Amino acid sequence: MIAVDKLAKRFKLTKEHKKNKERHDSREYDGYFHSVKNVSFTCNHGEVLGLLGPNGAGKTTTLRMLSTALKPDHGSILIEDDNIVKQPLLGRKAIGFLSGSTGLYGRLTAKENVEYFGKLHGLKGHALKAKCDELFSMLDMTTFLDKRAEHLSTGMKQKTNIARAVVHNPKVVILDEPTTGLDIMTTQTVISFIRSLKAQGIPVIFSTHHLDEVALLCDKIAVIDQGLSCFDGTVTDFMKQGGSTELNQAFLNLLSGNKHV
């Protein structure tokens, strides 16, 4: 279980920001840009939560706090009973995080990349080989395992990045826009992979702009707008509160506050 409560993160405004007076954003004040102001949600065992919000809403900033890459200014992130804001090392072990900026070592093969990150997490011998083989098969990677990462296609790189993110058997998996830029077949593989994590009881949180993926995968939805949580609940409640059984429409209605069009 992961419970996120009242997270906030602000960034000091740069000279560049201050110069650009034409661009007004209500999250700029007191010399800071308040990227995430108050975000809360919960994802339990065996649940998949879709994190939604318009461009710039604060989804990636939130997920980077969950991954411990960014320290929140305020709030707590509980994994079971551990507050990983206070114990980031525990958080790093407990969370598997895929971000858009995750890099692979170009000179290593796909297989070597995944094995390398497994070793960094203390896996070795039979346990490492068994875990890697399981992931290579689930993510349909066997045809390109021995290719150098620098020569992989976008989809192959993404599969390798996902395998790399979960090789240490994390308790919670967090994926930032895992299907962006992928073709239909690779998207399908990623969707099946998320389903298999769910079947293993692992909570999965993923951000996306594709509500068809949410319909296929999610038990719960959290919506962020302008750095604030504006919905956290089941898909059924999302449709009810958004005033439509069509997820895109419910999302638009929720954001505009015009819930019963």
Ligand X SMILES: Nc1ncnc2c1ncn2[C@@H]1O[C@H](COP(=O)(O)OP(=O)(O)OP(=O)(O)O)[C@@H](O)[C@H]1O
Q: Name the residues that contact ligand X, by CB under 6 A.
A: 11, 33, 35, 53, 55-61
Q: Which is nearer to ligand X, 110 or 223 (CB)?
A: 223
Q: How far apart are CA 80 and CA 201, in angstroms?
A: 14
User: Residue 108 in 3-state DSSP?
Assistant: coil
CB of 143 to ligand X, least distance (A): 31
Q: Which is nearer to ligand X, 35 or 109 (CB)?
A: 35
Token pair in block for residue 31 = 């010399």
Count CA within 13 A, CB hemisphere, residue 251: 21
Q: Which is nearer to ligand X, 14 or 153 (CB)?
A: 14
Other C-beta atoms lying within 10 Å of the C-beta of residue 246 = 13
CB of 228 to ligand X, least distance (A): 12
Classify strands 28-29 and 95-98 as parallel, antiparallel or unpaired. unpaired
Q: How far apart are CA 60 and CA 225, in angstroms?
A: 12
CB of 51 to ligand X, least distance (A): 9
Beta bridge partners of 5: 76
CB of 107 to ligand X, least distance (A): 29
Distance set, CA 210 to CA 166, 217, 233 (Å)? 23, 11, 18
Q: How far apart are CA 158 and CA 235, in angstroms?
A: 27
Q: Which is nearer to ligand X, 56 or 233 (CB)?
A: 56
CB of 123 to ligand X, least distance (A): 31
Residue at 32: amino acid letter:
Y
- Give me the count of residues in the chain: 261
CB of 34 to ligand X, least distance (A): 9
Q: Which is nearer to ligand X, 26 or 55 (CB)?
A: 55
